[in-house]
Structure 1
Amino acid sequence: MPNCLMCNRALPPCLTLKQIFSFHPHESPIICEKCRQTFRWIEKETACPGCSRPQKASTICMDCEKWQARLPSEYVSHEAFFYYDAALKEWLQRYKFQGDTRFAQIMSATIQTFLKKSPDAVVVPIPVSEASYAKRGFNQCEELLRIASLPYENWLINISFEKKQSEKKRQERLKTAQPFQLAPTFNKDITSVILFDDVYTTGRTLMHAKHVFAEAGVKRITSFSIGR
Structure 2
Amino acid sequence: MTPACGWCGRPWTITPTFGALCSLRRQRPATLCPECRATFLPWSAETVHCPRCHRPGAGVLCADCQYWQQQLPWLDGQAQHLFAYHSPIQTYFERFKRQGDYQLAAVFAADIGDWWRTRRRHYDAVILVPSDPVRARQRGFDPVTALFASVLPLTPVLEKQGTTPEQAQQDRATRLTTRQPFIYQPQRGVRLRQWRRILLVDDIYTTGSTLHQTAAVLHVAGSDAVMDTFTLAR
Q: Report what 2:62 is aligned to.
A: 61
1:15 is the counterpart of 2:15: yes
Equivalences for residues 126-137 of structure 1 within 5 A: 126-137=129-140
Task: After TM superposition, give the deviation of residue 56 of structure 1 in Å.
Answer: 5.2
Identity of aligned residues (%): 29
Q: Report what 1:169 is aligned to.
A: 171
Q: Report what 2:149 is aligned to.
A: 146
Q: Report what 2:221 is aligned to.
A: 216
Q: Aligned in 2, Cα 1:17/1:65: closer, same or farther, shift over 3 Å?
A: closer
Q: Kindly tell me the number of residue pairs found equivalent between the two proteins.
A: 224
Question: Does structure 1 conserve the Cα–Cα contact (< 8 Å) formed by 2:158 and 2:182?
Answer: yes
Task: After TM superposition, give the deviation of residue 194 of structure 1 in Å.
Answer: 1.0
Q: Cα deviations across residues 87-122 of structure 1 (Å, max 9, x unaligned)?
A: 111121222222223322222222223333142321
> Following the alignment from structure 2 to structure 1, what is the Cα–Cα distance between the partners of residues 16 and 77?
43
Q: Aligned in 2, Cα 1:18/1:202: closer, same or farther, shift over 3 Å?
A: closer
Q: Report what 2:79 is aligned to.
A: 78
> Following the alignment from structure 2 to structure 1, what is the Cα–Cα distance between the partners of residues 185 and 216?
14
Q: Aligned in 2, Cα 1:104/1:49: closer, same or farther, shift over 3 Å?
A: farther
Q: Report what 1:226 is aligned to.
A: 232
Q: Cα deviations across residues 93-152 of structure 1 (Å, max 9, x unaligned)?
A: 22222222332222222222333314232111110122111111211111122232x211
> Following the alignment from structure 1 to structure 2, what is the Cα–Cα distance between the partners of residues 16 and 79?
28
- Provide the TM-score with structure 1 as the length reference: 0.85
Q: Aligned in 2, Cα 1:26/1:128: closer, same or farther, shift over 3 Å?
A: closer
- Aligned CA RMSD, in angstroms, stands at 2.6
> Following the alignment from structure 2 to structure 1, what is the Cα–Cα distance between the partners of residues 203 and 119?
19
Q: Report what 1:156 is aligned to.
A: 158
Q: Cα deviations across residues 136-181 of structure 1 (Å, max 9, x unaligned)?
A: 1211111122232x21111111013222223222222122100011
Task: After TM superposition, give the deviation of residue 18 of structure 1 in Å.
Answer: 5.8
Q: Report what 1:38 is aligned to.
A: 39
Question: Does structure 2 conserve the Cα–Cα contact (< 8 Å) formed by 1:51 and 1:80?
Answer: no
> Following the alignment from structure 1 to structure 2, what is the Cα–Cα distance between the partners of residues 26 and 118?
15
> Following the alignment from structure 1 to structure 2, what is the Cα–Cα distance between the partners of residues 5 and 17?
20
Question: Does structure 2 conserve the Cα–Cα contact (< 8 Å) formed by 1:124 and 1:152?
Answer: yes
Q: Report what 2:110 is aligned to.
A: 109
Q: Aligned in 2, Cα 1:160/1:166: closer, same or farther, shift over 3 Å?
A: farther
Question: Does structure 2 conserve the Cα–Cα contact (< 8 Å) formed by 1:80 and 1:227?
Answer: yes
Match of 2:126 among 111, 114, 123: 123
> Following the alignment from structure 1 to structure 2, what is the Cα–Cα distance between the partners of residues 37 and 163?
33
Long gaps (5+) in structure 1: none
Aligned AA for 1:29? Answer: A
Secondary structure at the residue paired with 1:103?
helix
1:187 is the counterpart of 2:201: no
